[in-house]
Structure 1
Amino acid sequence: MTTSSAPALWPDYATPDSLAAIEEVPLTARKLPTSTYAVLDRAAGLWPDQPAVTFLPRAEDWEEGHTRTFAELRTEVHRLVHLFRSHGIGRRESVGLLSPNTALLPTALLAAQTAAIAAPVNPHLPADHITRLLGLGRARILVAAGPELDPGTWRTALAVAAELKPIALYALRPTGATGTGPALENLGGTTVDYLDAAMATSPDERPRVEPNAHDLAALFHTGGTTGAPKLAAHTHGNEVVDAWSIAANSLLDERSVIFAGLPLFHVNALVVTLLAPLLRGQHVVWAGPLGYREPALYSHIWRIVERYRISAMSAVPTVYSVLAQVPVDADISSLRFAVVGASALPPTVRTAFTQHTGVEICEGYGLTEATCATARSFTGGHHRPGSVGQRMPYQQVKTALVDSKNNWLDLPPGTPGVLLIKGPTVFAGYVTGHGTDGLHLDSQETVRDGWLNTGDLARVDRDGFIHLIGRAKDLIIRGGHNIDPATIEDALLQHPHVTGASAVGRPDPHAGEVPIAYVTLSPDAPEALNRSGHLIEHARAHLQESAAVPKDVIVLDSLPVTAVGKPTKVPLRIRTVRQTVLDELAAAGLPSDPTDVDCRFDDARLTVTLPRPAAADAADRITAALGRYTFAWSFTEA
């Protein structure tokens, strides 16, 4: 292969002004690889002997990384593709992946996308949730962390395999493991073996049939910020175009080294720190299996940057909040910038990290249903405060008003509304089932005429920068007045001892909802802050409208996150409604057990059930009390 196509493939993309010139060239003229396998094949042809991935066994062993070249990575993928296909698996089925990051996991993921469909799932979800997701995705082979790497995940994998009865269950070993692993359990009808041992005798010829751009590549479960996670299907074309949008960054080239610490069941890890570097020929250094959750990593992080000459890293806001406090004890001059995603970056974290390290943070915005990234910000004075970045090439964005009849009405440019996205990264749909014809997909009304409803409230300025306002489903509606919880959270976060804030609506019989907030505090916070009055007054002093002042501020040890680490308000809403019901029962003089009040949240609908009391007058009093609220509730019959 040659690099003669490089000028068309890699445009100048250093500033917001680059976008118009990039889009003058049709996407088809970029000659992108047709699949994620083609991305790997191209990299192995262009840079066969250059390092592709280095895996650290753990933070303490940061000098003992295990490295494979692009050619070696391709050879491993070839062996695994043949192994998977030897079991008769095809493009209408999936390979379930349950593991923290380890050296063979990227190989398994790429091979699964080549031979069938990859289905990475958070291994720490409950076993029944994993079984539901992988059963829905028609997983016929499971690849999971073995007993040495993660004993808990291996037990989960065995439980899932007992239910799904896959063709094979393969165990992954820790990075750098030597010798023979411990004996594995026998599952009748299912092949059980170590993946490295099974692939050793598999042929390394290239696949006879390669996927195309329209084939499904992966199934990623959504963050579940407003209910149970869904299984979103990505095509090879979705992933390649999104990875190209990220790799087309003029600040980095083939000599750049990327640091990765997010789990590979997260689309950010796949697209930003695996596929995009493969497209550009960049070396990726992966943290140990715990990634950024390994406390010891922060003691060594700056020496890792110096040792491997890290150019960029990708993480979530909480990581940068911690790094802003870690003394810089090494030469980190190679670090050009840091990338942040998954949730909004507080301005205080951005400022603290940059002042501490001299490194700018590039914020991004995206969602699983749009593959990964839809917007990016810039360094070198091009950051636009208040925005999450400019839309990426070939992705269109606009805002709409979603009326009471669920009509989507276009709004003028710059007008706040629900953010819509259209383009080559919009997903193929949610998996709703499967049959002999393959997986059944349905966008479930999130896509109309190619436009994806993100559920985020935003405005888009004339240069294509997206300014998020909040989640449409997170709005607190007080007496018909919409209150953005972000304004309350921003006000509370201005307090020097508040480290996290999440505002929700508490049911109110008169106003429908009133705002309350949950916060976390720094370890040195004065005891007085555990009483809500002080923080309520602090919020009042920083809010523009009195209706937004929270009625209560509750201190928690931590704020809830989803299975993929995104902040979620669902547990807080449930907690708030349950407490409202218990307060009403107490006011009516009725005994109550918190465990009897069952609150469930499904998308925008929260329902409450509680046992019907034996006495008719008690049931009448409950009906009278709860009938004043707008949430749905009912009695369960004995």
Structure 2
Amino acid sequence: MTGASLWPRYAEPADLAAIEAVPLAERGLPESTYALLSRAAGWWPDHPATTVLPEAARWREPVRRTFAELLADVHRYANLLWELGIRRGDAVALMAPNCADLIPATLAAQLAGIAAPLNGGLSRDHLGELLRRSGARVLITAGPELAPEIWDTARTLAAELDVVLVLRPTGAAGEPAALPAIKGVRVGYLADLAAGHDATDFDGEPPVASDLAALFHTGGTTGAPKLAAHTHANEVTDAWMIAANSLLDPGSAVFAALPLFHVNALVVTLLAPLFKGQHAVWAGPLGYREPALYGQFWKIVEHHRIAAMSAVPTVYAVLAQCPVDADIASLRFAMVGASPLPAAVRAGFQTHTGVTLVEGYGLTEATCASARSFPDAPRPGSVGQRMPYQRMKVVHPETGEELPGGETGVLAIGGPTVFPGYVVGRAGNAYVLDGLGKLRDGWLDTGDLARLDADGFVRLAGRVKDLIIRGGHNIDPAMIEDALLSHPDVTAAGAVGRPDEHSGEVPVAYVTLVPGATVTEDELRAWAAGRVPERAAAPKEVTVLDALPVTDVGKPYKLALRADANRRAITEALVAFDGATVDAVIEDGTVVATVTLPSEVDESKVAATLARYTVSTRLTCQGKS
């Protein structure tokens, strides 16, 4: 495979057509994530592959692996899993913060079986359901030294397991803590149990492109969990599309700090660098959530000559306040995604650092990345151009009919990165997968409202489920958020519908402000009213918060805002009923207003008041069962 075939020029939007003139099948992509790693180890055996920091304060004491050493550890860990009975259709759960051994463990799980990464911060009930759905009988998890809370969770989940393999902190020295016995479960340290296994080859059959590589859980922190399946072809293809970026040279260093239970960490900062022998520098177990990292960040960039990084907007908002106390000329650009990028954050970071923020777009069901921007060819308001070989169209939200270019509808994605479905059961040794309404004739319904131009650039217009419906009129929350984000003191904005007895819903908004801002909520409401393109979209209220709610991977969590809006609306509606208290909870992705009444309040009158609102409610009286 020639370099020209594997690496076409991909530096500007016009390159897309020339790239796609060559069929993807002729690009010579590796068969699997294991084949990708093996090729990297063969081409650059002694080059640094991963450098993992134990924590921000000890960033000068990392654990480094060359590509050959990384492959050797993957062989050892995969052969241990093989000995434990893991085969191609078996899931291996992984639940730990990022550490040096989690990286080869994840790749080993994809080699021997199927990796099923878990966010240890989820509720134990949620984690238990994910384990049951995955069918995993082996769990690789943080030990008591690395993450005591996750270790405690792992012990409570052990009844579902046969084997628990324990990870130590990056660079841990001395004898590890003794692990307690768990009845019926084999427990031991992963590195110790794998030490005697063959490091030169894998004992089983390596995976092929169509085999499942991973099961990623999707959604926020509530509702029924879903496991999205990825094939090896999905992950390798998407990683190649990212690596094809002509702006990053072979051997460049990239900074990684997102958790490995998230697809961005796996595809963007683990798999994509394997294509060009690039060096991934990983933050400590807390990643971007470690406050001390920000005080050391620019020194780390200078020391490792970091060329690119990937983070969510809130990270860049913080970095824009950190003095640049090092030479960061190596940092070519910074990738941003997962949530809309406020103009104030973009301007603040770029002015402060001189580094361009490059937006992207993707979702777990399309493996990871589906659109990318270009630092030297900005398209304001766009999250980027569709990536090579991925197809995109915009369809009517009800009929599914494709809409003409420039019209707003539901974005649909087709092509080699679209997932095969969610896990809904098992049949023999294989998973039963179903699109659950997200797949139609090979096209993925993203649930995102968007416009698509002739060059394949995507302009998002909110989520279908986030539409505010006022008296039958659809209001795009993005127009309200954009109006508020144009205010120099606003750093983030979220607009949602608030229940209204006359209109069904009216728009309200929540914002965060720059430190020291004195603008009032009424002033922001007037600012937005003067800038939204239609009167119906003017927010009835603007509420200032310290931070907008996000999911565990940093995506906006509008359900929490809708819950607050519901609570406020129902509280006002029941103000005449002394002693009535209102809460709003999220159950299976739906907001439910829970109303508790003193025994002397007429329950039927309260029920009649609530009936005027299109809100799910639960009514209880004190003293009644």
3-state SS of paired residue (1:7): helix
**Take 1:279 and 1:338, find their aligned partners in 2: how far apart are those partners?**
19
Match of 2:177 in 1: 182
Matched, 1:66 2:63: yes
Match of 1:31 in 2: 28
Q: Which runs of 5+ in 2 are unaligned?
A: none
**Take 2:560 and 2:337, find their aligned partners in 1: how far apart are those partners?**
22
- Say if 1:574 and 1:601, in contact at 8 Å, map to a contact too: no
- Say if 2:339 and 2:554, in contact at 8 Å, map to a contact too: no
Q: Choose the corresponding residue for 1:631, options 599, 615, 618.
A: 615
Q: Choose the corresponding residue for 1:96, options 93, 96, 111.
A: 93
The one-letter amino acid of 1:22's match is: I
- Say if 2:471 and 2:504, in contact at 8 Å, map to a contact too: yes
**Take 2:513 and 2:12, find their aligned partners in 1: how far apart are those partners?**
38
3-state SS of paired residue (2:401): strand
**Take 1:385 and 1:463, find their aligned partners in 2: how far apart are those partners?**
14
Match of 2:523 in 1: 534
User: Residues 454-493 of structure 1 correspond to what in structure 2 (within 5 A)?
Assistant: 454-493=446-485
Match of 1:516 in 2: 508
- CA offset at residue 619 of structure 1? 3.1
- CA offset at residue 634 of structure 1? 5.3
**Take 2:420 and 2:48, find their aligned partners in 1: how far apart are those partners?**
33
Q: Choose the corresponding residue for 1:593, options 581, 587, 590.
A: 581
Matched, 1:109 2:106: yes
RMSD, aligned CA:
1.9
Match of 1:583 in 2: 572
3-state SS of paired residue (2:360): strand
- Say if 1:226 and 1:568, in contact at 8 Å, map to a contact too: no
1:574-632 CA distance string (max 9 Å, x none): 22223323333333x253233xx5643445x54445579878x9232123212112234
**Take 1:423 and 1:25, find their aligned partners in 2: how far apart are those partners?**
15
- Say if 1:225 and 1:566, in contact at 8 Å, map to a contact too: no
Match of 1:307 in 2: 303
User: Residues 522-561 of structure 1 correspond to what in structure 2 (within 5 A)?
Assistant: 522-526=514-518, 529=520, 532-561=521-550
1:218-247 CA distance string (max 9 Å, x none): 111113389544211111110000000000
Which sits farther off after the overlay, 391-400 or 56-65? 56-65
3-state SS of paired residue (1:244): helix
**Take 1:585 and 1:478, find their aligned partners in 2: how far apart are those partners?**
22
- Say if 2:126 and 2:225, in contact at 8 Å, map to a contact too: no
Matched, 1:570 2:559: yes
- Say if 1:128 and 1:160, in contact at 8 Å, map to a contact too: no
**Take 1:66 and 1:84, find their aligned partners in 2: how far apart are those partners?**
23
The one-letter amino acid of 1:581's match is: I
Match of 1:142 in 2: 139
**Take 1:452 and 1:157, find their aligned partners in 2: how far apart are those partners?**
34
Q: 1:291 to 1:600 in 2, by over 3 A?
A: closer
The one-letter amino acid of 1:379's match is: P
- CA offset at residue 521 of structure 1? 2.9
TM-score (norm 2): 0.96
- CA offset at residue 318 of structure 1? 1.1
Q: 1:599 to 1:261 in 2, by over 3 A?
A: closer
The one-letter amino acid of 2:166's match is: A
Q: 1:599 to 1:313 in 2, by over 3 A?
A: closer
3-state SS of paired residue (1:139): coil
**Take 1:137 and 1:565, find their aligned partners in 2: how far apart are those partners?**
24
User: Residues 8-27 of structure 1 correspond to what in structure 2 (within 5 A)?
Assistant: 8-27=5-24
The one-letter amino acid of 1:331's match is: D
Match of 1:128 in 2: 125
3-state SS of paired residue (2:369): coil
3-state SS of paired residue (2:478): helix
Matched, 1:240 2:273: no
3-state SS of paired residue (2:574): helix
- Say if 1:497 and 1:525, in contact at 8 Å, map to a contact too: yes
Q: How many residues align?
A: 621
The one-letter amino acid of 1:18's match is: D
Q: 1:611 to 1:356 in 2, by over 3 A?
A: closer
Which sits farther off after the overlay, 514-523 or 391-400? 514-523
3-state SS of paired residue (1:378): coil
User: Residues 205-220 of structure 1 correspond to what in structure 2 (within 5 A)?
Assistant: 205-207=200-202, 208-220=204-216
1:165-184 CA distance string (max 9 Å, x none): x1211111111111111111
**Take 1:226 and 1:543, find their aligned partners in 2: how far apart are those partners?**
32
3-state SS of paired residue (2:268): helix
- Say if 2:452 and 2:458, in contact at 8 Å, map to a contact too: yes
- Say if 1:570 and 1:601, in contact at 8 Å, map to a contact too: no
Which sits farther off after the overlay, 562-571 or 73-82? 562-571
1:483-527 CA distance string (max 9 Å, x none): 11122222222333333221110011111100111222333133x
Q: Choose the corresponding residue for 2:321, options 325, 328, 335.
A: 325
Q: 1:269 to 1:70 in 2, by over 3 A?
A: same
3-state SS of paired residue (1:304): helix
The one-letter amino acid of 2:605's match is: R
- Say if 2:221 and 2:552, in contact at 8 Å, map to a contact too: no
**Take 1:28 and 1:13, find their aligned partners in 2: how far apart are those partners?**
18
**Take 2:595 and 2:55, find their aligned partners in 1: how far apart are those partners?**
48
- Say if 2:233 and 2:416, in contact at 8 Å, map to a contact too: yes
TM-score (norm 1): 0.94
- CA offset at residue 457 of structure 1? 0.4
3-state SS of paired residue (1:153): helix
**Take 1:257 and 1:572, find their aligned partners in 2: how far apart are those partners?**
38
Matched, 1:46 2:43: yes
- Say if 1:95 and 1:139, in contact at 8 Å, map to a contact too: yes
- Say if 1:133 and 1:231, in contact at 8 Å, map to a contact too: yes
The one-letter amino acid of 1:120's match is: P
Match of 1:168 in 2: 163
- CA offset at residue 323 of structure 1? 1.4
Which sits farther off after the overlay, 493-502 or 299-308? 493-502
**Take 1:606 and 1:442, find their aligned partners in 2: how far apart are those partners?**
26
Match of 1:391 in 2: 386
The one-letter amino acid of 1:14's match is: A
3-state SS of paired residue (1:285): strand
- Say if 2:115 and 2:213, in contact at 8 Å, map to a contact too: yes
- CA offset at residue 89 of structure 1? 1.7
**Take 1:561 and 1:54, find their aligned partners in 2: how far apart are those partners?**
29
**Take 1:198 and 1:53, find their aligned partners in 2: how far apart are those partners?**
22
Q: Which runs of 5+ in 1 are unaligned?
A: none
- CA offset at residue 32 of structure 1? 0.5
Matched, 1:437 2:429: yes
**Take 2:599 and 2:354, find their aligned partners in 1: how far apart are those partners?**
67
- CA offset at residue 335 of structure 1? 1.3
- Say if 1:57 and 1:64, in contact at 8 Å, map to a contact too: yes
Q: 1:417 to 1:355 in 2, by over 3 A?
A: same
3-state SS of paired residue (1:393): coil
The one-letter amino acid of 2:311's match is: A
3-state SS of paired residue (2:493): strand
Q: 1:434 to 1:598 in 2, by over 3 A?
A: farther
**Take 2:434 and 2:221, find their aligned partners in 1: how far apart are those partners?**
20
The one-letter amino acid of 2:477's match is: P
Matched, 1:501 2:474: no
3-state SS of paired residue (1:339): strand
Matched, 1:369 2:355: no
1:176-210 CA distance string (max 9 Å, x none): 11111111111111111111111111222422301
3-state SS of paired residue (2:267): helix
1:94-139 CA distance string (max 9 Å, x none): 1111111100011010000111111111111111111111211111
- CA offset at residue 295 of structure 1? 1.3
The one-letter amino acid of 1:59's match is: A
User: Residues 351-430 of structure 1 correspond to what in structure 2 (within 5 A)?
Assistant: 351-380=347-376, 382-403=377-398, 407-430=399-422
1:42-79 CA distance string (max 9 Å, x none): 11111111110011111122222211110100000000
**Take 2:515 and 2:245, find their aligned partners in 1: how far apart are those partners?**
40
The one-letter amino acid of 1:390's match is: Q
The one-letter amino acid of 2:290's match is: E
Match of 1:345 in 2: 341
**Take 1:452 and 1:357, find their aligned partners in 2: how far apart are those partners?**
38
**Take 2:429 and 2:147, find their aligned partners in 1: how far apart are those partners?**
36
Match of 1:204 in 2: 199
3-state SS of paired residue (1:625): helix
**Take 1:417 and 1:601, find their aligned partners in 2: how far apart are those partners?**
28
- Say if 2:90 and 2:113, in contact at 8 Å, map to a contact too: yes
